[in-house]
Amino acid sequence: MGTVTASPFDFPFARDSIALIVIDMQRDFIEPGGFGASLGNDVSLLQAIVPTVARLIAGFRAAGLPVIHTRECHLPDLSDCPPAKRLRGSPSLRIGDQGPMGRVLIAGEPGADIIPELAPLPGEPVIDKPGKGAFHATGLMDFLEMHGIRQLVFAGVTTEVCVQTTMREANDRGYDCLLATDATESYFPAFKQSAIDMITAQGAIVGWATTTGAVLEALDV
């Protein structure tokens, strides 16, 4: 058992039972013309973390440790997308509508794909999730149990929504959670900082936070 320098205190690092989970680094959220941009967001904020996420992924691959990818997307008939989710707000595009990269957040459409710079390697699991959290209505829990994974390092977008939701789901299921703060981002920087504060409050009530460099140092890659 090693340690990773982290906040609010060092993270107890178990190399034989840790994995990286990269949340929703999809074209619809990251690239201009996608769903995120249709909501009026500045996607360049999310694009800025791509090189850091790539470094983190490369480090886990070099260490021979699991890398898990998630995509938020729905069935073409929208049977797994409740109206309360699809009809929220007043975006110029809604889930299922035809957009510049195909139907928005629909499995199999170009916009739902992970950006090319972070493309999964053959054999790396890709979890398609209909909700914000990666445990709801997916096979993630089965994968983690099958591979003896008890600790998760988190990267991806957005910090306060899908990343934090999945961390909370994992925490409730007994997993140790470590957020790589420079490998996650929000369309709203203040929301990112608030999410980190909530995650690490009260003695890591949800999880720990650290930098990509600290994680790679612990991996010795």
Contact status, residue 59 vs residue 215, Cβ threshold 8 Å: yes
DSSP percent split of the chain into helix, strand, coil, nearest 5:
40, 25, 40
In order of 99, 195, 196, the CA distances from 213 in angstroms are 37, 21, 17
Give Cα 101 distance to the centre of its chain: 21
For residue 166, cis peptide bond before it (omega within 30 degrees of 0): no
Determine the Cα–Cα distance for residues 182 and 144; give it in Å rounded to an integer: 25
Determine the Cα–Cα distance for residues 83 and 163; give it in Å rounded to an integer: 23
Residue with tokens 């600790």: 151
Q: DSSP per residue over 100-130, as a string?
A: BTEETTBTTSGGGSBPGGGPPPTT--EEEES
Determine the Cα–Cα distance for residues 144 and 151; give it in Å rounded to an integer: 9
Contact status, residue 206 vs residue 178, Cβ threshold 8 Å: no
Give the active site residues.
24, 129, 162
Pair type for strands 11-13 and 18-23: unpaired
